[in-house]
Structure 1
């Protein structure tokens, strides 16, 4: 059987479908790319291969929605989130080099299910939010982004609890994750993990991911927030379960 990018035709098709689905969810919710893509793609690509493919495609994926996001974003929070993230991201990446691939895969799925449970249960932080706390959330996101490829949960849970318009929440999360992609790609390049084959695969994955982001952004309507969240939650749950050793 022929291989493409080191994958069978079936494996490559599954990875491409994961890229498209994760793009659709991110397009209408502002998050979900890693939560959907990593549990599905890691068994085929390994931890670093999945991270690099995700990062490269994710740089292109949100492009159709950046202009609207920049108009709505809370810019002060965005700067503090990115600064905190840059501090602890390399620590998480170093720890990832010390664990087995299966640990990464199961950690991704368990964190996705944990975040999903918190969102569904409606658990929220209602205390005072200062600038230092925002930077701390960014640092936590950086660490989780390094060790499990999931910078989103900490930021998503934090912003879901804030009394801000849905447009602002969506834009801040989307732009933070966009900035995270450049940070992690820089660190991974410095670690010597980025190769020409992984770059090529990432560029290939960007095609369905951009299409999915465009479709999701086109579908997004603030007045249908409940419907979008329900769809995102379902997609995340299915992807997370697919990454666990439940299917033999």
Structure 2
């Protein structure tokens, strides 16, 4: 009889460690609306190949995406979130193809630049009340988000500053980001199947990690409503800062 460890290629204790990592990353997602892939993909890359970690991160985002989708759609700034999501979904295959063709060292450099750029961008002054982004900015955000989804399972670096620099209620910003990330997860999964790097093994690992992801996301979401807006924004900046620092450390 084939054991679970043989099917996944991961020892039971290692899988338990991956579940703990997933819980922590999902908690951040539930609390801030982003950050799961930024935190989790590099950690998963310690136990599976970087390309597999990217695909696994996308599959996990796909599984958690429908959770609370009704509230997410109702709260989101649909005027911007839906166009960004559509553009990102259309360009995700470009990122996946780039990942397949890019040397690992160059890929790590590009991912590091994206993480650092997102942290710097979120620290820039906020736009004034009533600011509406132009169509070009919306399209550019979707383009960058889609490419980074396919390339690194990280749709957040362009999207988070887009919403955090606007005078939006945290509830609206969080829901808008989650709506976009669900769309990129769908596109990322289809692109991974198209490229041929989404395997039964990765689907199985994603299903095994789903309970930890669901629980972490639920706990984080429960804490979201108890955090003051300025503290929430500071926490988002801290998550981006940690991601940027860790990306630089990995590169060095």
Aligned equivalents of 2:218, 2:120: Cα separation in 1? 28
**Structure 2 matches for 1:14-29, cutoff 5 A?**
14-29=17-32
Deviation at 1:222, TM superposition (A): 6.4
Shift of the 60–87 alpha-carbon distance from structure 1 to 2, 3 Å rule, reads closer
Deviation at 1:81? 0.6
Match of 1:75 among 73, 78, 82: 78
Q: After the TM superposition, list the runs of 4 or more consecutive aligned residues in structure 1 that deviate by more than 6 angstroms.
A: none
**Equivalent residues, number:** 246
Tell me how far 1:16 sits from its aligned partner. Answer: 1.6
Cα distance in 1 for partners of 2:50, 2:202 equals 12
Q: For each residue in 1:41-82, what CA deviation from the matched residue of structure 2 results, as whole angstroms up to 9, or x when unmatched?
A: 123222221122112221232444322211111222222112
Partner of 2:216: 212
CA RMSD of aligned residues (A): 2.8
Between the aligned partners of 1:150 and 1:195, the Cα distance in structure 2 is 20
CA offset digits 1:129-156 (Å, max 9, x no partner): 2233212210111112222221111011
Secondary structure, counterpart of 2:49 in structure 1: helix
- Output aligned runs, 1:1-248, within 5 Å: 3=5, 5-105=8-108, 107-119=110-122, 121-124=123-126, 129-221=133-225, 224-235=228-239, 237-238=241-242, 241=245
Question: Partners in 1 of 2:169 and 2:22 — Cα distance?
Answer: 28
CA 1:19–1:206 in 2, change beyond 3 Å: closer, same or farther? same
TM-score under structure 2 normalisation?
Answer: 0.84
